[in-house]
Amino acid sequence: MTPVRTPLDAVRLRADFPILAREIAGRPLAYLDSANTAQKPRQVLDAMTRFYEASYANVHRAVYQIGVEATEAFEAVRPKVQALLNAPSEREIIFTRNATEAINLVAYSYGRTNLGPGDVVVATEMEHHSNLVPWQALAAATGAEIRYIHLDANGELDLGELAEIARAGQVKLLAVVDQSNSLGTVNPIRELADWVHGQGGVLLVDGAQSVPHRPVDVQALGADFLAFSGHKLCGPSGAGGLWGRRELLEAMPPFLTGGEMIRSVRLTGTTYNELPWKFEAGTPAIAEVVGMGAAIDYLSAIGLDEIHTHEAAISAYALDRLGEVPGLTVHGPTDPSRRGGVISFSLDGAHPHDIAEILGADGVCVRAGHHCTQPVMAHLGVVATTRASFYLYTVRDDVDRLIDGLHRVRSIFRL
C-alpha cells in the first residue's frame, strides 16, 4: 500500500481497526462508506468490553461500587464532548441516540414552544432527511411556514435567496448542515448564523458530517444548537448528542418524559430535573456513551486537524483519479477547498446500484442511493448517485481499487 504523505499515518492507524483486516474475495476491505457509518478502532471496542466486564450497572441510581463507577464513566464523557465542540459548559451536552433524535428534540421542544402562524422555519435543499422532515412536521403542526435555501449549479447554497426568505415572515429558526453528506459541500455557517441572528432567530447546525472530520467550535460558528452522531466518529451506534445554548435549553420543556428526567413526582404533578438530565428520559445507552467517549479520546489523540488534512489529501487524489474515468461526473463543488471527504458521482450508462454491487463483490464498499437527500437528487436530475467517502483510515490504495472497479464496470457494461 502506498503511504499517504500527510502528518497522519493512515497505514499504521488501519491496524487499530480489526474489520479492515477482513478479506472479501481474497482482498482486504476497501471501506469507502464512512459518511454512512465509521468503522471502530480496537480502543473503542476494548473500552466497551472493559466497561461491560468490570463496571456495568445502571447510572444515576445505584450507590454500590459498580453503580458509582458506571455513573462516573458515563458522566466523564460529557466534558469530552464539551471539549470536542468547544462548548461553554458540559451541562449543555445532552446524550441522544443519534443526530436524528437530537434534531427532533429541538424541533419538538423548542419548535413547538416558539413557532406559530406567521413564523418561518428555514431549511436548505441539501439537508439530510433527518434535518428536513422534522421541520416540515413542525411547520404542519404549528402553522409556521417552511422556506428553503436552494442549491446553485455548483452544489452550494444560494445565499442570494435570504432577502426574500426574510420577507416571508418572522424567521425563527434556520436548520442547516455543516457539511453535506451527498455533495460534500462545506457551508458558510458563520455567515448564516449572523443572518439568522439578525432576523431574531436561532441556528441549528447538523454536525453529523463535520464533527467526526475536522475541528468544530460551536462558539466560533455562532450556533445555538448542534447535533451529531457517535457512530460516524468511530463510536458505537446508539449514542450521539445535542449541544444547545444554556439559556435556550433551560427555557425549553422536556422532549421525552419518564424516569431520570424528573426532580420529584407527586400524583398531583412533576418537577423536572436540571440540565442536561431534563432531556435524558429513561435508561440511556450507557456502554455506547462510554464507547463514544473512547472514540473522542482516540480521534483527539490523532488530532482533528490532522484527520482533516489527511482527508483533504485523499479527496484531492480521488478527484484527480476519478477524472480519468470516461463518462464520469462528480457532483458538488468543483473547488476542492469547498468540500469535505465525500464524493458523489454518476457514471453514464451504469446504475449506481449496479456499480456498488460490482465494486462490493471485490471488497470495495461504496454507497449507492439517494443518501437520504432526495431533494438533492431531484436538483441533480438523478434518482441516485454512487458515493465514496473517506476517513482517517482511508489510503490511496482504497481509491485505486475504486478506480479499477469503475473501469471494470465500464467493461462489463461495454461503455
Chain residues binding ligand PLP by CB under 6 A are 98-100, 128, 130-131, 177, 181, 206, 208-209, 229
Rounded distance, CA 312 to CA 295, Å? 21
What is the smallest separation between the CB atom of 375 and ligand PLP, expressed in angstroms? 13
Min dist CB 41 to ligand PLP, Å, is 19
Q: How far is the CB of 181 from ligand PLP (least distance, A)?
A: 3
At 195, list the grid cell: 443572518
State which residue, 70 or 176, has the beta carbon closest to ligand PLP.
176
Which of the following is catalytic: 372, 382, 403, 415?
372
| Minimum gap (Å) between residue 37 Cβ and ligand PLP | 8
Q: Shortest gap between Cβ of 106 and ligand PLP (angstroms)?
A: 13
What radius of gyration do the chain's Cα atoms show? 22
CB nearer to ligand PLP: pick between 174 and 208 = 208
Annotation says 365 is catalytic: no
- Nearest residue (CB) to ligand PLP, 114 versus 181: 181
* Residue placing its CB nearer to ligand PLP in the complex, 128 or 396: 128
- Between 98 and 386, CB nearer to ligand PLP: 98
Closest distance between ligand PLP and the C-beta of residue 369, in Å?
A: 11
Of 98 and 142, CB closest to ligand PLP: 98
Please give the positions annotated as active site. 372
